[in-house]
Amino acid sequence: MTLADLPPASLRLKLDTQALVANWRALASLSGTARTGAAVKANAYGLGVSHVVPALRDAGCEQFFVAHWSEVPDVLEHVPAAMVSVLHGVSSEAEAAFARSSGAAPVINSLQQAAIWQQSGGGRCHLMVDTGINRLGISPAESGSELIASLDIDMLMSHLACADEDAPQNARQLQAFRDVSAGIAHRQRSLANSAGIALGQDYAFDLTRPGLALYGGVPRPELQGVIRQVAYPEAAILQVRDLQAGDGVGYNARFTATEPMRVATVSIGYADGFLRARGGACALQHGGREMPVLGQVSMDMIVVDCTAAPDLVAGDFLSVPFDLPREAGRSGLSQYELLTTIGSRFDVLVNPA
C-alpha cells in the first residue's frame, strides 16, 4: 500500500536559530578569552541536534558535549569527531571500542574508566574531577594516581553544583579546581556551565560549556535581558464546543462550568511536554487574547476557555507560553524540565517568516 503524503502536524515548534546564535555569542563574550562550547545532550535539550548543531557550528562553536554514546552519531552528521565529547565516559569495553571507532573523546570519570580506556589503547581523552557536586569524576585524592598520570588528557574538567545561587560552594569549588589542576598534566581546563559563565571570568578558564542559556534559559539574574527566547511551541484546535452551567471538563471533572461558555480542545498534552504541573495557571494565546487551561491535562489534549476569542475554529493554532524563567516560576518545573520534556510530535519550523 502506498501512503499519501504525511499531513502537517497539529503541533509545531517555531525555532529561532538566530536567537540561539545570539545567545551563544553573548555567552562567548561573557566568557572573555575562553572559547565557548555547547552542551547538546538530550537532542540539544529537546530542540533538535539537526537544527542546533549546524547553527552553532556555523557561528564558530568548535566543541559539543553529549551525555550518551548513542547521541554521538547524530552530532557527527554535522561536525568532525574531534569536536565531540561524551560526558558519561567509557564504562565498558564496548563503549571504549565505539569511542575509538567514532573518534569522539570520552570524559573519564573514575579510575575504573581510566583503566578501561588505557586497556583499549588509550589516546586523547578528557578528565572530570569532582570538586564538590558528588556525581561523576575522580576525587582530588585520586588525582595523583599513576593511572591518571598515564592518560593523555586534553581537557581537565569539573562541574559547579550551585552556580545558579550565590553560594559559598562556588568559590570553594573554584579553588579546589585550581588546586587539583596543578598536579594533573593537561592541555586545557573547563569549569563553567551557563550559570558559571555569569559568575565571572575567574570561572571561565580555557573553555566554557553552556547548555540551558543557549536555548533561552536564564539561570542567574545577570543573564536577564541578555538571553533571548529560542523556542515557540504552537498547538492546533481540534474541536470547539459550547458548555452549559454544570458541565465538567476532562478527567475527574476538575473544572465545572458555572455559566455558559465556549471552550476549545487543543492538540497538546503531557506526551508533548505540556505536563500537568503547567495546567493550573497557564493560558494559551492567539492574537493577544489569552485562553486559560481548564481541568486536567491529558496525554494528547488540553481544553481551554476561548470565550475571549469566539471566532476561533478547529485548525487554528494557539501559542503555548514558553518564556522559560516565567513558565518555570508559574509551574514549579525547572527550566531544564520544560525544555527537555518536549515531545517528538512537533513539526519544527526553523526561522519561519
Residue 9 amino acid letter: A
* Alpha carbons 169 and 130: distance in angstroms, whole number: 13
Per annotation, catalytic residue among 41, 203, 215, 232: 41
Copy the grid coordinates of residue 1.
500500500
DSSP 95-136: HHHHHHHH-PEEEE-SHHHHHHHHHTT--EEEEEB-SSS-SS
Copy the grid coordinates of residue 264.
476549545
Per annotation, catalytic residue among 14, 215, 232, 251: 251
* Active site (annotated) includes residue 14: no
Distances (CA, A) of 304 to 204, 267, 315: 46, 11, 15
The owner of cell 498534552 is 269
DSSP state of 56: H
DSSP state of 310: T
Which positions are annotated as active-site residues? Answer: 41, 251
